[in-house]
Amino acid sequence: MARMRAVDAAVLVLEKEGISCAFGVPGAAINPFYSALKARGTIRHILARHVEAASHMAEGYTRAGSGNIGLCIGTSGPAGTDMITGLYSAAADSIPILCITGQAPRARLNKEDFQAVDIAAIAAPVAKWAVTVMEPYLVPMTLQKAFHLMRSSRPGPVLVDLPVDVQLAEIEFDIDAYEPLVPFKPAMSRSQAEKALAMLNAAERPLIVAGGGIINADASDLLIEFAEVTDVPVIPTLMGWGAIPDDHRLMAGMCGLQTSHRYGNATMLEADFVFGIGNRWANRHTGSVDVYTRGKKFIHVDIEPTQIGRVFAPDLGVVSDAGAALKMLLDVATEWKTAEKLRDWSGWVRECQGRKKTMKRKTHFDQVPLKPQRVYEEMNKAFGRDTTYVTTIGLSQIAGAQFLHVYKPRNWINCGQAGPLGWTLPAALGVRAADPQRNIVALSGDYDFQFMIEELAVGAQHKLPYIHVVVNNAYLGLIRQAQRGFSMDFEVSLAFENVNRKDDPEAGYGVDHVAVAEAMGCKAVRVRRPEEFAGAFEQAQRLMKEHQVPVVLEFILERVTNISMGTEIDKITEFEELAEHHKDAPTAIVMLD
């Protein structure tokens, strides 16, 4: 037992819980905590330019799958409110991050002190737990509970708020007696697995819907093995993309209103049974429940009991960690296959494979300014199978999901439910901090890129290199496309005549992203024509390796390109031509434009 400040005990607990990196912005009310970080010198700190960005860096760090939880730190008042978007984004996608904020002294709470706000109450709706610690000895014990909660059942974020006098108070604490608590994770029983497989065996055209819970559980190998043993095709959700490689014979495509494949939607419409594992039936995946569920039976496996039946009632619901469920299902399925008790779905698999081969969208366009589809075609050529893509929302993300290829878990890092603009850049920095060796390519539209463009300086300062593809059409492209339903194009253009770009052919596009990136200490390359693609990708990778800073790779797009999407999975509008040799393929897609 030793006497120490509460913040010194806190840092010892963080070390014991596996924290090795933090993202944040110091300030008066959190400086005691920073003094403890400095004194120990064991936790790397990356100084963000905005506290919201620090929270997204922490998200990227956790989502990269290093095994550690992302930590973001800020002072009192606005630092905590800046973190709310990161907490929301993490909670929505079941991502554990720890937010630590400073707070006014206890005696000054509720007295309108400078930068004093009830951040625990503000954060509560978007956190798994949010607490202001009022007793010094509770600082290390609160952190112990925080880590247990973040890792148990459905993962999620926690905010711990520390009044400055609580931080500075001395306590008796023995770190040698401290042990992290074992997380709670429910597991599927054998009888539940047998019931589920009996229902699966009764189906003629079954699918597995693989959600982000499989990736959170690091259970992608079990998913692939289970799919191969049963010979059942897999539809990954956007958060589950990468759980099965895109070119696996049982990968049947993604389903949904936006981030989907034509063959994925068509296959879902043909299915009569869906086995959902670690997914949440998000509306961008399902569209309306009536269309999605028509003619099908459902099993839903999820780690959180209240997720089952939240969107619609399945025919069977099982509360289980995705990894534990897949292990039990695989054990039983292997026994049944050996005993020849599993049904033969090889004909159904061939149907799914046929749709995957024939129902393509066209990507090869030679126009100038560039069409975005061609950019993704060239990205597939330039970047290898091990590339990690990081992106948030917008036409760039939607088209990226339609045209890019993902082959490994955690190689598609996307805030699926919240989708805050500006997320991509700091999240990519967090991924890089978690894994110095990974091939990282971020993907942004120009507006997402501009939201937190100042964080480029963080990448330059802390040597966090990655390639950031910016598809620039000087528009809020997704909102412009949505405004077609109101017959308007209103306040969504980012274009203006930039007086500092008089001799630049893109002066009318407004912001000079290349100049901004270079001013931030990064490198940048602009691409205008198809023949420049190969050289630009090569140059970007060379610059990144040589200078160890982020490299912006900007593609100048035509101002207006509508990307395929719709209001139902059987009513997707295809705005562009389909691939020439696939035009006559059977399709469940309604051609509205």
Tokens 């050996």 correspond to what residue?
Answer: 338
Tokens 């950019």 correspond to what residue?
Answer: 375
> For residues 147 and 314, what is the distance between their CA atoms, to the nearest angstrom?
32
Residue 476 annotated among the catalytic residues of the structure? yes
Give yes or no for a contact between 556 and 528, defined as CB atoms under 8 angstroms apart: yes
> For residues 219 and 224, what is the distance between their CA atoms, to the nearest angstrom?
9
Q: Which of 51, 224, 375, 557 is catalytic?
A: 51
**Angle CA(263)–CA(208)–CA(198) in degrees, nearest 5?**
135
Give yes or no for a contact between 383 and 411, defined as CB atoms under 8 angstroms apart: no
DSSP string, 57-84: HHHHHHHTT-SSPEEEEE-STHHHHHHH
Q: Which of 149, 158, 421, 525 is catalytic?
A: 421
Give yes or no for a contact between 394 and 259, defined as CB atoms under 8 angstroms apart: no
> For residues 181 and 535, what is the distance between their CA atoms, to the nearest angstrom?
52
Contacts by 571-580, CB closer than 8 A, 24 or more apart: 572/257, 572/260, 572/262, 572/265, 574/262, 574/361, 576/361, 576/362, 576/371, 576/373, 577/362, 578/360, 578/361, 578/362, 579/360, 579/361, 579/362, 579/363, 580/362
Q: Which of 479, 492, 494, 516 is catalytic?
A: 479
Task: State the angle between helix axes of 78-92 and 51-63 in degrees (0 to 180), rounded to the nearest 10.
Answer: 30
> For residues 477 and 197, what is the distance between their CA atoms, to the nearest angstrom?
44
- DSSP secondary structure letter of residue 551: E
553 phi and psi angles, rounded to 5 deg:
-115, 100
The sign of the dihedral angle between the CA atoms of 506, 491, 482, 401 is: positive
* Beta strand spans in 451-548 (E): 467-472, 523-527
Residue 51 annotated among the catalytic residues of the structure? yes
Residue 421 annotated among the catalytic residues of the structure? yes
> For residues 226 and 322, what is the distance between their CA atoms, to the nearest angstrom?
12
Q: Which of 7, 12, 14, 25 is catalytic?
A: 25
Best CA proximity match to 573, nearest among 560, 592, 586: 592
CA 153 to chain centre: 19
Q: Quick check: bond before 369 cis, omega within 30?
A: yes
Radius of gyration of the chain (CA): 25
Best CA proximity match to 267, nearest among 336, 349, 333, 346: 349
Residues in the chain, total? 593
DSSP-based three-state secondary structure for 298: strand
Bridging pattern class, strands 571-573 and 565-568: antiparallel
Q: Left (φ > 0), alpha (ψ -120 to 50) or beta: where does 245 sit?
A: beta
Tokens of 61: 């760090």
Give yes or no for a contact between 566 and 592, defined as CB atoms under 8 angstroms apart: yes
Q: Which of 234, 476, 514, 543 is catalytic?
A: 476
Residue positions annotated with a catalytic role: 25, 51, 421, 476, 479
